[in-house]
Amino acid sequence: MGRKITVIPKAPVGRILMRAGAKRVSADAVDTFTEILTEITEEIAAQAAKIAKHSGRKTVNEGDVKLAVKQ
């Protein structure tokens, strides 16, 4: 199985897991966590874009993102 190219850099994802209390983090764990974070953030981004469009704007603002997270 090949590695997927992601927008989110893997090194910071590994650091997030370490800061959460992990002593060590495998490359597979970082890959999986990165994929999950990417899926979640893409869903939030799409929802925020819909909210902005519904409001008659082309620009996504902070409020759109916060509202998208709550949904």
CATH of the domain at 41: 1.10.20.10
Compute the average pLDDT of residues 15-24: 97
Q: What is the C-alpha separation between 37 and 16, in angstroms, rounded?
A: 12
Q: Is residue 5 part of a domain?
A: no
> What's the token pair of residue 29?
């764990």
Compute the average pLDDT of residues 9-32: 96
Q: Is residue 43 part of a domain?
A: yes
pLDDT of residue 5: 72
Q: What is the C-alpha separation between 39 and 59, in angstroms, rounded?
A: 22
Total domain count, the chain: 1
The letter for the amino acid at 15 is R
Q: Which is more confidently placed, 63 or 2?
A: 63
For residue 1, pLDDT beyond 80: no
Write out the residue range of the structural domain in which residue 58 sits: 10-70
Residue position matching structure tokens 């998208």 = 68
Compute the average pLDDT of residues 48-69: 98
Burial of 64 (0-12, 13-18, 19+ CB in 10 A): buried
pLDDT of residue 3: 59
Q: Is residue 55 part of a domain?
A: yes
Q: Is residue 2 part of a domain?
A: no
Q: Work out the pLDDT band at 2, boundaries 50, 70, 90.
A: low
Q: Is residue 4 part of a domain?
A: no
